[in-house]
Amino acid sequence: MSIFQKQGVDFNLLRLLPLVVPTLGLTQPAVAETVPGPIVLEWNVNPEPDVTGYKFYYGESSGAYTVVQDAGNSPLMVLTNLESERTYFFAVTAYNAAGQESQFSEEVSLTLGSEPVDPDTSGRLVLLESEDGQIGAPMTIYSDSNATWVDSSVFSQEGWTELNFEASVPGDYQVWCRVNAPTEAKDSFFVKMDGEEEQVFHVYGTPTPPEGTRSSEWTWQRVHYPDAGPRNYTLDEGSHLLRFRVREPGTLLDRVVLSSNPAFIPDDNLPRSGDALVITGGPASQTRAPGESVDFTVAAAATGPVTFQWLKDGTALPGTNTPVLNLQNLQTSDSGNYKVSLASGSAIATSSNAVLTVGEVVENSDFRIHRLTMNPDQTVTFDIVGQLNNDVVVYASDDLVNWTLLGTHLNATGSISAADPDADGKTKRFYRLAIPTE
């Protein structure tokens, strides 16, 4: 088993003996002192053909494991909920289809320090529900099978809801609202933050939005004032009060989310409570010459501090726990797929792959795709004009920004096929082919 985190402590797992009930073992137990953050633990794959999976055990006393997790057939476990200033003990077992389970592997222990050493520049999120505030009549709580919201059932501007919240970091915050505002007579509130002057929040940004802008569905809208545009609220760390007052009965208010990351845009997949983490800017694919350097960056918004772990081709890179991954003196062996795993409390997110190509890769004007065929077996066939008997590098993307390397294929006949398992269920997919040059 190996542990990858800031210190990159590494333990090698002994191979299983071909027993009816296999056993796991480590070359030696050890203690590693490291700082809080995502912990990646790996172990060797068993050679027995009947082994179908692994169970991962840990606890705070040697040999007394209080937590067990089924890792399936993956020889890897990522833990994000370990507490600082505690020592943990880990072991692994293997099991087969008959339900037989091996003995425990030798034990690995890990002691977490108390202070993170890397800066966290992520934005903060504050999740609020309109009905959880202090409500003044005739503002009333309503609900159906999909949501609970507040509204005034009569034409009175006396009703209000006041939402108290804590800003964990100072900054400029945007206020996003999940609202239902279907008509010209039902699309605005009075809004004020703390002791500021109350202003009119027109849900669609203007009293008379263009034809077709209004919707009878629930939508996410940012607090927007016609004379000033989208509003930023400069907030200090600490307690604040956000007030919505009835201006037009029938303007329904469900959720409110504050964000200090200007790139954040909410959707209905955002949790209503607890920990939340959203990647707002992922690493981009890049090409570099040998000897050059490269930076991969990620941006996020979360309800609490964020930790980072970069991976190359699916393997954690020890000591890479900041929002920026800097690689120096690049060699061709550095080429590959890079991504980053983020965690904030119980919330976890992983960026798309960014492809790093070290060495000159050029598009050839005599080289083009004649036809593309999507096959039922999740492969893509490219009929190619030009560059016979040359290697062709194939990339795929969902957004023309983040590219995943699918592989390199010899163009021997004018037709090549590449496996693209990530294409399953996608409504759009882009491909790029290139000829590597020496």
| Cis check: omega of the bond before 119, within 30 degrees of 0 | no
C-alpha separations of 416 from 90, 177, 400 in Å: 46, 49, 22
Residue 17, pLDDT score: 33
Cα–Cα distances in Å, from 317 out to 9, 235, 281, 285, 333?
11, 37, 20, 18, 14
Task: Give the phi and the psi of residue 430 in degrees, each rounded to 5.
Answer: -120, 145
Fold of 2-112: Immunoglobulin-like (2.60.40)
Q: DSSP character for 55?
A: E
Q: Could you tell me which of 78, 66, 70, 56 has the C-alpha nearest to residue 3? A: 78
Q: Answer whether 123-259 and 361-436 agree in fold.
A: no
Q: Domain ranges in the chain? A: 2-112, 123-259, 279-357, 361-436
Comparing CA positions, the residue from 238, 245, 165 lying closest to residue 197 is 245
CA–CA separation, 193 vs 243, rounded Å? 6
Q: Report the alpha-carbon distance of residue 106 to residue 63 in Å, rounded.
A: 10
DSSP 3-state of 334: helix
CATH level 3 topology of 123-259: Jelly Rolls (2.60.120)
CATH architecture of 361-436: Sandwich (2.60)
The CATH code of the domain at 279-357 is: 2.60.40.10
List the chain pLDDT tens, one digit each, 438 residues.
Answer: 544 443 333 333 333 333 333 343 333 333 344 445 567 788 888 888 888 999 999 999 999 999 999 999 888 888 877 887 788 999 898 898 888 888 888 888 888 765 544 467 899 999 999 999 999 999 999 999 889 999 987 888 889 999 999 999 999 999 999 999 999 999 999 999 998 999 999 999 888 888 888 999 999 999 987 766 788 999 999 999 999 999 999 999 999 999 999 999 999 999 999 999 999 998 988 888 888 899 999 999 999 999 999 999 999 999 899 999 999 999 999 999 999 999 999 999 999 999 998 986 554 456 778 788 887 777 888 888 777 778 888 888 888 878 888 888 888 788 888 888 888 777 788 888 888 765
**pLDDT at residue 437, rounded to an integer:** 64
Residue 86's alpha-carbon distances to 89, 346, 349, in angstroms, are 10, 18, 25
Phi then psi for 106, rounded to 5 degrees?
-60, 155
Q: Can you give the pLDDT at residue 397?
A: 86
pTM above 0.85, yes or no: no
